[in-house]
A and B are shown apart, each in its own frame.
Chain A
Amino acid sequence: MLANVRQILNQTFIGSYVANRVDQVRTVNTKNGIEKQAIFLAISLTADFCLGTVIFSCVQQSGYSPQLLPQAIVNSTESTVENLKLIISWLMQNPAGLKLNSVLSRALGKFFLYHIHLWVTYVYLLIPALIDLLQTLSPVFHFLPLSLQLSILGDMLSVLCVHVFCFYAYARRITYSQINGCIALARLFAGKKYNPLRKRVDSADASLEHLFVGTMVFTILLFLLPTSLTFFLVFYSLRLSAMLGLEIIRRSIWLIQWLPCQS
C-alpha cells in the first residue's frame, strides 16, 4: 500500500519533494557511515533554505511579490485559454494551405472548444479557493527551501497545462484508431487479412459485401486521415513544449537535492 501511496505522491512535485527528503533522512539513519551522510544531508538542507531565502529576496526586490501571485495565475490561465482557442479556430479554417476536410475539422474544432469551455468553468470555480490558500501561505513562502518553491511553481504549471495533455490524448486516440483501420482495410483491399493465431498475413476469401463496404470505409478513413493527423501534430507539439518546461523544473529540483554517495 505504501508503494501505491508513493506512486501517487510522485505524480505531483510537492509530493515527490517530500518523499525524496523523507527517503534521504531514512537512509541516513540506517547506514553505517552515519557521520558523512548526516553531514552531507545537513549541508544540502541548509543550502536549500539559504538559497530559498536569498533568491526570494532577489525576486521580491525586482518587483514580484507573493501578493501578486493569485492575479498572475488568473492572467496566465486566461492567456493560455485564449491562445488555445485561437489555435483551434485557425485549424478549423484551412491552416497553412493544407487541404483539410471541412466537415471533420469543424466538428473536431467545436468538440475541443466545448471542452475548453467546460474546463474554464471548472477553473473559475476553483480559483477563489486557491487564492485563499495562497494568501495564507504567502508569509511562509519567504522561508521555504528553494526546491520546495520550485515544486510549488511546477505544480501550478501542471494544473495550468492539464487540458493540453487531455487534448493530446483525444487526438492521439482518434488518429491511432484511424490509422489502424486504414491498415487493416488496406490489407482487405489487396485481398489479404491478418491471422492473429500465426501472426502473419494470409490471403482472405472475402465475400462481395465485405469487399464493397470495406473499400468504402477505407476510402473514407483515408481521406479523413490528413485532418486528424494535423490536429494530432499540433497538440503533440503543444504537449512537448509543456513537458519541456515541467522537465526543466524537475531536473533543477533533482540537482538541488542531489547527495554524493547516495545509494
Chain B
Amino acid sequence: MENGRKNQWRKVLYENGGFPDNYTPPESFLAAIERNKNLRLYTKRECFQGAAIVGREVSLVITFWSLYVYLSESLINSEQLLVALLLVVTSGYLYHLRNYTYSVLLSGLKTTLFFLTVGFALSPVLFKLTDTISTDTIHTMSVIGLVVHTFTQNYGIHGPLVSKSISLNSAIFSTVCLASRFPTHIMAFSLLCLAVFCFLLVPMWSEVYVPNPLKSLLSALISVCLLARVLPNYAVLAAVFLILVQVICPLLFFHLQSYKQTIHGPWDEASLD
C-alpha cells in the first residue's frame, strides 16, 4: 500500500506492484468467460444438402445390390445391362464435354478402358473363385464390404475414418465376392462393369455436381422401387432408413443446434491461430 491508496493490480509483469507473481484478482478470471465463441450455425438448406450426399451414396449401394439380385435371378440379361451402362456412360461424357477440356475426358476414357480390359481378363478366374463356399457366407462378406465402403466414403467432411482407398477397395472386394455366384463369366464381367460405374465413375461425377435434396430423394425413390421388385421386406426397411437419413436427421440436427452451449476462457490451451 502506498499513499493511503490501494494499489490497482495490472497485468504487467515487469512492474513490481506489491502483489505476488501468481496473483489474480478473483473477479478477473471467471469474468473472462466467453460463451459460444466462433459458433457456426447451419441453415436448413445446408443441413439438407449435407444429408443429400449421404443419402445418394446409400441409394447407390442399394441400387447396386438390387441389380445384382436381378442379374442372378435372370430378370435382366447381362447384355442388356452392358448396353444400358454404355448408353449412360456415353451420355454422361457428352454432357461433360461442354464443361471440361478434352485431355481430362481423354484420361478418364483411358482409365475406363484399362479397367474394362483387366476386368474382362480376370473374369474367368473370378467366377470360379469361390465356387465351393456357400452363398450365405459370400453374401455376408459382400454386405460387410459394402458397409465398410459406406462408412469410409468421403462425404465432404474430413475425419479419421475417411479413407478413399479403403472405401474403393472394399467395394471392389464385395463385387469380386458376388461375381462368383454366376454361372457364366460374361455375367461376372457385367457385374464388374456395374461396380466400376457405381464406385468409380459416379463419385467422380459427384465431386463436380453437388446434389440438391430433391434429386437425392428422387434417386432414393428409384433405388427403393428397384429393390421392391425382388425383396419387398428389405425395400420397406431401406425406405425407412433413407427417409431417416435424408429428412429426419437434418431436421433433428437443425433443431438441436439451439441447444449448443460452449464455454471458452483464459484456461483454454493456447493455440497458434
Chain A residues at the B interface, C-beta cutoff of 8 Å = 94, 99-103, 188-191, 204, 206, 208-209, 211-216, 218-220, 223-224
**A189 to B165, Cβ gap below 8 A?**
yes
**B166 to A212, Cβ gap below 8 A?**
no
The complex places the Cα of A189 from the Cα of B168 at a distance, in Å, of: 9
Instruction: Return the CB mask of B99-131 against A: 1 if under 8 Å, else 0.
Output: 000000000000100110011001001101111
CB distance from A173 to the nearest CB of B (A): 21
A interface secondary structure, majority:
helix
Q: Of the candidates A189, A209, A219, which one forms a contact with B115 in the assembled complex, judged by CB atoms under 8 Å apart?
A: A209
What chain B residues lie within 8 Å of A212 (beta carbons)?
115, 118, 168, 172, 196, 200
**B176 to A216, Cβ gap below 8 A?**
yes
**A191 to B165, Cβ gap below 8 A?**
yes
Q: Of the candidates A208, A213, A219, which one forms a contact with B200 in the assembled complex, judged by CB atoms under 8 Å apart?
A: A208
**B177 to A219, Cβ gap below 8 A?**
yes
Q: With A190-B163, A208-B111 given, is the CB distance from A215 to B169 under 8 Å?
A: yes
What chain B residues lie within 8 Å of A214 (beta carbons)?
169
> Interface size bucket, B side?
20 to 34
Q: Of the candidates A94, A102, A213, which one forms a contact with B118 in the assembled complex, judged by CB atoms under 8 Å apart?
A: A213
CB distance from A135 to the nearest CB of B (A): 52
Q: With A208-B200, A215-B172, A219-B177 given, is the CB distance from A100 to B132 under 8 Å?
A: yes
CB distance from A231 to the nearest CB of B (A): 15
CB distance from A237 to the nearest CB of B (A): 23
The complex places the Cα of A212 from the Cα of B173 at a distance, in Å, of: 10
Q: With A102-B131, A219-B176 given, is the CB distance from A211 to B122 under 8 Å?
A: no
Chain A CB within 8 A of B164 CB:
yes
The complex places the Cα of A101 from the Cα of B118 at a distance, in Å, of: 22
CB distance from B170 to the nearest CB of A (A): 8
What chain B residues lie within 8 Å of A223 (beta carbons)?
129-130, 133
CB distance from B39 to the nearest CB of A (A): 34
A–B Cβ pairs within 8 angstroms, 7 of them: A101-B128, A101-B132, A102-B132, A103-B131, A215-B168, A216-B176, A219-B177
B interface secondary structure, majority:
helix
What chain A residues lie within 8 Å of B164 (beta carbons)?
191
**B131 to A101, Cβ gap below 8 A?**
yes
Q: With A208-B200, A216-B118, A216-B172 given, is the CB distance from A99 to B166 under 8 Å?
A: no
What chain B residues lie within 8 Å of A101 (beta carbons)?
128-132
**A191 to B115, Cβ gap below 8 A?**
no
CB distance from B48 to the nearest CB of A (A): 31
CB distance from B140 to the nearest CB of A (A): 15
Q: Of the candidates B114, B132, B165, which one forms a contact with A188 in the assembled complex, judged by CB atoms under 8 Å apart?
A: B165
**B111 to A209, Cβ gap below 8 A?**
yes
**A189 to B126, Cβ gap below 8 A?**
no
What chain A residues lie within 8 Å of B166 (beta carbons)?
189-191
CB distance from B101 to the nearest CB of A (A): 19
The complex places the Cα of A227 from the Cα of B104 at a distance, in Å, of: 44
CB distance from B157 to the nearest CB of A (A): 18
Mark out the residues of chain B between 136 and 194 whose CB falls within 8 Å of any chain A CB in the assembled complex. 163-166, 168-169, 172-173, 176-177
CB distance from B109 to the nearest CB of A (A): 13
**A215 to B133, Cβ gap below 8 A?**
no
What chain A residues lie within 8 Å of B196 (beta carbons)?
212
Q: What would 7 more interface pairs be, CB under 8 Å, given A190-B165, A209-B111?
A: A101-B129, A101-B132, A103-B131, A191-B163, A212-B196, A216-B126, A220-B129
The complex places the Cα of A182 from the Cα of B208 at a distance, in Å, of: 35
B177 to A, closest residue via Cβ: A219
The complex places the Cα of A204 from the Cα of B169 at a distance, in Å, of: 14
Q: With A189-B166, A191-B165, A215-B169 given, is the CB distance from A220 to B130 under 8 Å?
A: no
Instruction: Return the CB mask of B215-244 against A: 1 if under 8 Å, else 0.
Output: 000000000000000000000000000000
What chain B residues lie within 8 Å of A94 (beta carbons)?
132
**B128 to A103, Cβ gap below 8 A?**
yes
What chain B residues lie within 8 Å of A220 (beta carbons)?
122, 125-126, 129, 176
A217 to B, closest residue via Cβ: B122
What chain B residues lie within 8 Å of A216 (beta carbons)?
118-119, 122, 126, 172, 176
The complex places the Cα of A103 from the Cα of B128 at a distance, in Å, of: 8
